[in-house]
A = this chain, B = another copy of it.
Amino acid sequence: MTLFAPIFVPEALGQELADEAWLAAMLDAERALVTAGALAGVVPAAAAAAVADCCRPELFDIHQLATAGRATGNPVEPLVRALRAQVGGEAAQWVHFGATSQDIVDTAAMLVARRALELVLADSDRVAAACARLAREHRSAPMVARTLLQQAVPTTFGAKAAGWLVGVLEAQRRLVELREHGLAAQLGGAAGTLAALGSSGPEVLRLYALELGLAEPVLPWHANRVRVAELGAALAIMAGALGKIAQDVVLLSQSEVAEVAEGAGGGSSTMPQKRNPVGSTLALACARHASANAGLLMGALVQEHERAAGAWQAEWEALTQTLAFGGGAAAAMAGVLEGLAVDAARMRANLDASGGLVLSERLSLLLAERLGRQAAHDLLAAAATRAATGGRPFRDELLAERSLGLSPEQLDAALDPAGYLGSAEIFVERALTLYELAPARRS
């Protein structure tokens, strides 16, 4: 609806979610309906063929349908009317036979979601591949870990990327599950009994789902929206997992930190030196939209009787937006991570900048063996405070402590971050193994 959509949503995804794609999907549903009807012997074959032949988007005027849809509260009424006019003659009466508007909209939503999910998953694959590469390449590259945005202890950039990777793989796994099993055809007729189809209802439902390549639901799900809410939640969670990476990239890109930079940093309209983390910024905005719209979908589970007045209609735009922004986040972060410039030297410099303060946990363990934990903690906290305020390096403050009991050489060894990486590399391996197994776990 705004100038801004293409800024957040890649063009290919935007097309899968555009009016034309929705119209095509609704016509796919109508075509599958007469086809299934014909196969089940409910609809005359010739009539079905005539209808199917008219299920082509180019025969319809989208703007007119949408405007007419305002009066009926959904776009299917006018579409059915227009399709009947296209078909003409006897065959026209078989258009939409056995279905209700919601059958068509919901099925179209599943088709649109399936096509969009392909793109979302493909971009999240790119994200995962890029994270895996970063984890592998930088598995031993020391950097400082930060908690509450304060330098804490050493870690490696590989371990950070491994954490990103696992988040994306977990979110992806759920999305794949839902793509495989959660996208179901909708066909219930006026109120979920398929009464207009007589005794052929279940057979037509089966063939309809088969024709569309969608799962056959146990029941029509007109007012059971669990699958829609689950899809929305999974997309928002994917967007959130991507947003976590984006947030880290923005923070690591800060002028004062400068450990990474987006390859294609955005310029500023007024400041020539700026290299903004644009891709990550867009991904963060996308995550907010995905979450807000998924929240709407969760709130819309409470639907009245056999078709809701309001909650169902609100889903259409919300699901579209969740797909658009979920995919927008994936595309943005794929671009960011594939082009990410990593400055290992700066990582090392920032790690060293505290003069060893970030090794104080390690010192604390060393000293605790002799002094007891509390005394060790207090000695170190005091030295850290003096170093922070007085100007003398932490190392010198420590050596000045009589109770330290470490030689300068021992202290320097203890202050070497490369010696205090714990299981960082092992965790990187575990994440990479999970990544390699991910395709197998999908099927």
Contact = CB atoms under 8 A, between A and B. Distances in A.
Nearest to A306: B145
Contacts of A166: 218-219, 221, 224
A36 to B, nearest CB: 14
Given A219-B430, A224-B244, A285-B313, A268 B7 contact: no
A278 B287 CA distance: 26
A423 B3 contact: no
Taken together, the copies of this chain in the complex come to 4
Contact of A305 (B146, B225, B271): B146
A72 to B, nearest CB: 4
Q: Which of A7, A75, A151, A223 has the most CB of B within 10 A?
A: A7
Interface stretch (A48-56, A120-128, A251-259, A407-415): A251-259
Given A159-B192, A373-B93, A171 B281 contact: no
A39 interface: no
Contact of A5 (B152, B289, B305, B317): B317
Contact of A4 (B149, B167, B317): B317
B218 A431 contact: yes
B277 A149 contact: yes
A288 B300 contact: yes
A38 interface: no
Contact of A167 (B170, B226, B233, B247): B226
A324 B321 CA distance: 15
Contacts of A388: 275
A264 B196 contact: no
Contacts of A424: 192-193, 195
A77 interface: yes
Nearest to A73: B278
A170 B305 contact: no
15 contacts: A2-B17, A7-B75, A8-B70, A96-B270, A100-B147, A155-B193, A167-B224, A171-B226, A190-B268, A199-B423, A229-B233, A250-B309, A272-B381, A291-B296, A291-B299
Can you list the 8 inter-chain pairs with the closest CB atoms, starting with the nearest? A240-B301, A284-B310, A195-B422, A145-B191, A193-B422, A147-B307, A233-B233, A93-B373
Given A99-B270, A155-B191, 16 more contacts: A3-B62, A6-B67, A72-B267, A73-B282, A77-B267, A93-B368, A146-B255, A146-B307, A147-B271, A174-B230, A189-B270, A189-B422, A229-B237, A272-B377, A284-B309, A292-B318
